[in-house]
Chain A
Amino acid sequence: MLEQILVLLPQVLFDGLILGFIYAMIALGYTMVYGVLELINFAHSEIFMIGAVTGVEVFRYLAPLIPNGYLLLLVAVVVGAAVAGLTAILVERMAYRPLRRRGTTNRLVPLVTAIGVSFFLQDLVRLIEGLWHNEFFLRMRTVPDLEGSFTLFGGAIFLQTKSVIVVVVSVLMLLGLTYLVNRTKLGMAIRAVAQDLSTASLMGINPDQIISRTFLIGGALGGVAGVLFALIYTTINPYVGFLPGIKAFTAAVLGGIGNIPGAMLGGLVLGQLENFFGTYLPILTAGNFGTEYKDVVAFLILIFILLFRPQGLLGQMVKEKV
């Protein structure tokens, strides 16, 4: 048994890393919006799904036109980010902004709206795909360029070219976001609004505009994560966003909600944990509990964090003002 575990370990760690990067990218969207609005943007999992569906459609239509797989993926990532980012902006405009204008103090109102948006988007995508292709269970088209594989460490790790691409793209994205938030004017404005919206608006920042851009950035990252998800997991449908969305939210909470490095860390940790349990649970329990319990693991982690360290790994405690 121990031998079995050790033999699989390198591979498990690497697969967990890929999953972790995807979670990290989605978690950033949750964390940024939460930082600015204190809203759990439920619909973010659907933004991710829209990115994935967009990726599938780009591959479907452009694969014959663009012979080079890497270029094709670049186009898919850009288009996916754009579509998802614009959807996020629209969601904020149509659903969340009217609530802010009315100025409700009730936390449940925006949350219920977000759930509504999430459900609405799922079926809207299904409707569009249904009218367009008469099917909504989609398969990512395979491109020979991206289908290579090789082994490392004398066969201990089996790598697909795809997974290396995912890691590279995610790292670039995360670095880009870190730069944007810490070193640019827009990033400074986002941090200012996150710290104190009303004071920021007195300092000449237009909060509505900054909130819009926050949604754009978070949505675009979610969209890129979606395209990469479609590349790796290949089968996509309009309901595919739910579980990754919930888990990415767990990752954001694990890192400390509202905290950008925290979201990245949380995603990576959760990816490892989930993959670890998903692989080893059947081995450890002699096949009595299968892989299907890996989703339960994520939820239980979420509950434990919220109970014992609600501020997350890297977050600070916020005192509730009365």
Chain B
Amino acid sequence: MSLLSLALSLVFLVLSFLAPHTLTAFLGLGALGVAAFARLEPRVRTLNLALLTLAFTLFLRNSGNTLGLIGLVGILVALTTLPRIPRGIRVVLGLAILLLSVPIAGFTNTFIFELGIQIGIFAAMALGLNVVVGMAGLLDLGYAAFFAVGAYTWAIFGSPQAGKFLQGNFPLPGEYMYLFMFIAVVTTAITGLLIGLPALRLRGDYLAIVTLGLGEVVRILANNLDHPINITNGPQGITPVARPPIDWFRSLIAHLGVRLDETTDYQLFFYLLVLAMIGLVVLANVNLANSRFGRAWVAIREDEIAAQAMGIPLLPTKLLAFMTGAAFSGVMGVIYGAQRTFVSPESFTLLASITILAMVILGGMGSIPGAILGAAALTILNLDILKTFSEFVRTSLPWIPSQVDPAKYERLVFGLILILMMIYRPQGLIPEARHRAELEEEA
């Protein structure tokens, strides 16, 4: 068994050099499946994962095919979830994938950078929502509203827009983006407080509807606050949003001997920035989960009345969860606005909120690696797999009417994911430890 899996990985490695095609990638994914699920010695498995990391990286460098990225995500998941892999190897391999493999692939195919950045932004948001839904058990269906508040916080001041209702020199220079990341934490936390104060007194299912309503209210405001005073520029959105200057970053990278061109420099910068943010968010999440507050949240999730009886103040504890989740989302909103240089109400619909919710649920409520996996899976599905499928339908199945474009059917896919997960695996793909313990008790 171990020989077979190693052989598979080696074959894939060789083929990555000779024939980096789609079929080869599927062979690699198969090899990864064997490495992850077959009964192997821990040592053999570790070696195998290292081999596969190398192979997928080479495959990506030679082809730029996004299936390779799926393979890398799979290896990351295997590294975080499989037992008895030495910790040092986990860290080294994980960092190698994030800091070397993905950028190398990105230079071959810049779309991979785009994917990485989007995955990162969504992963950070899923982690934020994971605090609210997963840990505290508060179903928030208006989460995109906080994202919007964060994005607009920077977009209004980082573009000529602010000059339309304030005296002063706008746009502010790009360096201010870092400052506004902190300001966005404050503005979104205040928004969370304002939304949470009325909503959090309600029972779970009412809370869901009210947050949905308030999320829509924020979107309607963003859409219509172009009169009487033009604050948000209404449905046209705000563009161009300033980006931070990155000359220091270019020279730093040049010292490392990598030549950046006009297209990849910002991509790489934002990719690394988002990675750093995720690191911070994960750190915050882990510490929160083990803190007094995290335990109080879980207690509220499991049994509100018992928690209250044990002296946990309900409303402040829930508000704190709400504001924490909002703050994560707000920071990501600033980065999102700067990266796309364009912000409009269209990005903050109910669909966006449900997308993030689906990520949390797919991964597993309350589970940190789960939220990241969910974000990666759904982002790749949305931006890449569905689009590829659309190409396929257009070219190979011409009898299908032109209006039926699979890339436009995200709701169908997300809806199905939500339904199937709830029926067959409500604890998610990577269940939280507590849920896992519960399941073992039942079994």
B-binding residues in A (CB < 8 A): 39-40, 95, 98-99, 104, 106-113, 115-124, 126-127, 130-131, 134-136, 242, 246, 249, 253, 288-290, 292-293, 295-296, 298-300, 302-303, 306-307, 310, 320, 322
Contacts and interface: CB of A to CB of B under 8 A. Distances in A.
Given A120-B416, A134-B401, A249-B209, A293 B224 contact: yes
22 contacts: A95-B419, A104-B426, A106-B426, A107-B203, A108-B133, A112-B139, A115-B141, A119-B414, A123-B409, A127-B404, A131-B400, A131-B401, A253-B206, A288-B227, A292-B220, A299-B213, A299-B214, A299-B216, A303-B198, A303-B199, A303-B213, A306-B206
A303 B198 CA distance: 7
A306 B202 contact: yes
Contact of A118 (B210, B220, B415, B422): B415
Interface string B200-237: 01111110111011101100110110011000000000
Contacts of B415: 115-123
Contacts of B350: 242
A289 B414 CA distance: 35
A99 B403 contact: no
Interface string B361-376: 1000000000000000
Interface string B400-423: 111110000111101111110011
Given A115-B354, A299-B217, A307-B198, A120 B419 contact: yes
Contacts of A246: 209, 212-213, 216
B403 A136 contact: yes
A136 to B, nearest CB: 7
Contacts of B411: 119-120, 122-123
B224 A116 contact: no
A288 B216 contact: no
B329 to A, nearest CB: 19
B305 interface: yes
Interface of B: 133, 137, 139, 141, 198-199, 201-206, 208-210, 212-214, 216-217, 220-221, 223-224, 227-228, 305, 350, 354, 357, 361, 400-404, 409-412, 414-419, 422-423, 426
A310 B220 CA distance: 25
A302 B198 CA distance: 11
B376 to A, nearest CB: 20
B137 to A, nearest CB: 7
Given A98-B423, A296-B217, A306 B210 contact: yes
B210 A292 contact: no
B426 to A, nearest CB: 6
B209 A131 contact: no
Given A303-B199, A303-B210, A306-B202, A135 B403 contact: yes
A40 B208 CA distance: 10
B216 A119 contact: no
A293 B219 CA distance: 11
A99 B214 CA distance: 29
Contacts of B206: 253, 306, 310
A111 B208 contact: yes
A246 B212 CA distance: 9
Given A113-B422, A116-B415, A293-B220, A134 B402 contact: yes
Contacts of A134: 401-404
Contact of B422 (A112, A242, A303, A307): A112
B354 A322 contact: no
A307 B201 contact: yes
A295 B220 CA distance: 8
A40 B412 CA distance: 20
Nearest to B197: A307
A131 B405 CA distance: 10
Given A112-B361, A115-B354, A303-B198, A124 B412 contact: yes
Contacts of A306: 202, 206, 210
Given A249-B209, A306-B206, A307-B201, A126 B409 contact: yes
Contacts of A310: 202, 206
A290 B402 CA distance: 37
A317 B99 CA distance: 58
B398 to A, nearest CB: 13
A302 B210 contact: yes
Contacts of A40: 205, 208-209
Nearest to A128: B404
A116 B217 CA distance: 22
A127 B412 contact: yes
A39 B422 CA distance: 15
B227 A111 contact: no
